[in-house]
Amino acid sequence: AAGVIQSPRHLIKEKRETATLKCYPIPRHDTVYWYQQGPGQDPQFLISFYEKMQSDKGSIPDRFSAQQFSDYHSELNMSSLELGDSALYFCASSLATVETQYFGPGTRLLVL
Amino acid sequence: AQTVTQSQPEMSVQEAETVTLSCTYDTSESDYYLFWYKQPPSRQMILVIRQEAYKQQNATENRFSVNFQKAAKSFSLKISDSQLGDAAMYFCAYRREAHQGGSEKLVFGKGTKLTVNP
């Protein structure tokens, strides 16, 4: 079965640079979620989209923005990167009528 | 705000034995869902089992089962016949019922690291 695809899988950036993370949900899934997991931490919710509209917002810095496109893929844009942004970024998808979220493999971001 | 508590930072079990991981949560909602996710060293988040709050019957998936006590707001995971591949971080997660479509975030506990000894 098709799973959530995230790209890139690994990313190394310098402080103050910009990064774009991409997420391709499971086919027919209409909802996308972004989570950030720091080292030794549990995943923290950043933002979600349902039918291409932002549906919920968590502890996402103002330096970050995201959107969901007409084909339901989503991009997380991160600007003015800080050392503390180094983390594993998960995208998850679901069908709105079904409550289970399925996670992608994550993007490991390292900010130097 | 909903909170999820996993009181066991680490647990260990002998191969082929049974282990139970604890999870409690706090919510004022009546409709919600509970999940256990497994995160092996690869750090992939893998769904293990889910439970709908409106169902009294405990969920079961092969060697994994839950003990859901709604009144006590408790949701423990039992792993039977433990295997080496079960070694991972286990996260308990809560999700409230979505209304009018849309989405609802997962709220995670801090996790329990399970070691399986051969």
Q: What residue ranges of chain B have pLDDT lower than 50?
A: none
Q: Is cis: bond before A27, omega within 30 of 0?
A: no
Average pLDDT, chain A: 94
Question: Is B104–A103 a contact, with Cβ atoms under 8 angstroms apart?
Answer: no
Q: What residue ranges of chain A have pLDDT lower than 70?
A: 97
Q: Does B95 touch chain A (CB under 8 A)?
A: yes
What tens digit of pLDDT does each residue of B87-107 get?
Answer: 999 999 999 877 655 568 899
Angle, alpha carbons B29-B33-B37 (nearest 5°):
135
How high is the pLDDT of residue B42?
Answer: 92
- Chain A hits for B9, CB-CB cut-off 8 Å, are none
pLDDT of residue B102: 55
Cα A54 to chain centroid distance, Å, stands at 13
